Amino acid sequence: MAERSALAPAKVNLFLHVGPVDGDGYHPLASLVAFADVGDRIAVAPSDRLSLGVGGEFAAGLEGPGDNLILRALRALGEAAGIGEPPLAVTLDKRLPIAAGLGGGSSDAGAALKLARDALGLDLDNGALADIAGTIGADGPMCLHARTAWADGRGDRLTPEPRLPPLPAVLINPGDPSPTGEVYRAYDAGPPAGADRPRPPQSWEVATVIDWLAGQRNDLQAPATARTPAIARAMAAAARLPDARLVRMSGSGATVFALFDTPAAAAAAARRLSENHPHWWIVRTNLG
């Protein structure tokens, strides 16, 4: 069996409407989730035991292999398949920032589950893998499928949305982490919003979709920027970019995305922003 590898794409919440916490400690939400063409890289190779090696630009920010969602997901896969720990050497090339609102850990786990299933020839379809992915967190199933979808409930009720066109975008992370738990606690301390799901746009042309998204919101943006002022600075810098049509934070932060009408406009904006902020993580991408 040769080494297999796959992209674990960044997840972006194009909007995120969040309701008050329920009796079980969960927040209902409504979101339109898209995936970028950038992300971490996962590889698996045959071995005599399960192991994880981590490298890449942001490897130092991880808590350690023992806490990694990849290992938790693969151990759950082995239990579900009745094989014990999968005998695989896994390598994570960590290219996405940590605590960035991009679903990095869940996306890594989703890619690893599919690679391990195929490498070991396990008779498990994507639905079965999604059930396993759900055990590591609410983002697990959506990141395993890694395709544009409406997310409702706790983020686990997914409706694919194939009509979303590729949205030219720039992703911007100023380098300060935004821990999800702390952001939700700050959100809970303020007036609650609602997990309302809007009607779809009248058409799915890029300009119309961006206009429609401008009428939505990210309910975690205010508490996240209050906790991490660098997010507000990144949003302000993005808003000053020529031709930027919409600027919003993704998930619980700290990554900001800016949308443009054309890939050329997004590429020019990314170059300009990188010159002005050389220490920020800035990439041009297509969402969806």
- Judged against a pLDDT cut of 80, whether residue 254 lies above it is answered with yes
- Give the mean pLDDT of 177-183: 93
Q: Is 146 helix (H, G, I), strand (E, B) or coil?
A: coil
Q: What is the pLDDT of residue 63?
A: 63
Query: Residue 94 catalytic?
Result: no
Both structure tokens of 172: 């911007």
Which position has the higher pLDDT, 156 or 207? 207
- Give the mean pLDDT of 273-283: 98
Q: What is the pLDDT of residue 192?
A: 87
Q: What is the pLDDT of residue 2?
A: 75
- Judged against a pLDDT cut of 80, whether residue 170 lies above it is answered with yes
Tell how far CA 183 is from the center of its chain.
Answer: 16
Q: What is the pLDDT of residue 18?
A: 98
Q: What is the pLDDT of residue 67?
A: 53
Q: How far is CA 262 from CA 101, 201, 259, in A?
A: 24, 19, 9
Which position has the higher pLDDT, 15 or 99? 15
Confidence of residue 13 (pLDDT cuts 50, 70, 90): very high
Q: What is the pLDDT of residue 64?
A: 56
Q: What is the per-residue pLDDT across 22-34, written as a single tens digit (0 to 9) for each?
A: 988 889 999 999 9
Q: What is the per-residue pLDDT across 56-86, written as a single tens digit (0 to 9) for each?
A: 999 988 765 545 899 999 999 999 999 999 9
Q: What is the pLDDT of residue 66?
A: 45
Q: What is the per-residue pLDDT across 116-141, written as a single tens digit (0 to 9) for each?
A: 999 999 999 999 999 999 999 889 99
Query: Strands 88-93 and 51-55: what pairing?
Result: parallel
Both structure tokens of 176: 């300060």
Measured distance CA(278)–CA(196) in Å, rounded: 38
Q: Residue 266: which of 282, 278, 251 has the closest Cα?
A: 282
Rounded mean pLDDT of the chain? 95
Q: Among 40, 108, 139, 219, which one carries the catalytic annotation?
A: 139
Which position has the higher pLDDT, 63 or 108? 108
Going by the DSSP 8-state scheme, the letter that residue 61 receives in this structure is G
- Judged against a pLDDT cut of 60, whether residue 278 lies above it is answered with yes
Are the CB atoms for 170 and 283 separated by under 8 Å? yes
Q: What is the pLDDT of residue 68?
A: 86
Q: Among 11, 93, 94, 114, which one carries the catalytic annotation?
A: 11
- Judged against a pLDDT cut of 80, whether residue 233 lies above it is answered with yes
Query: Residue 139 catalytic?
Result: yes
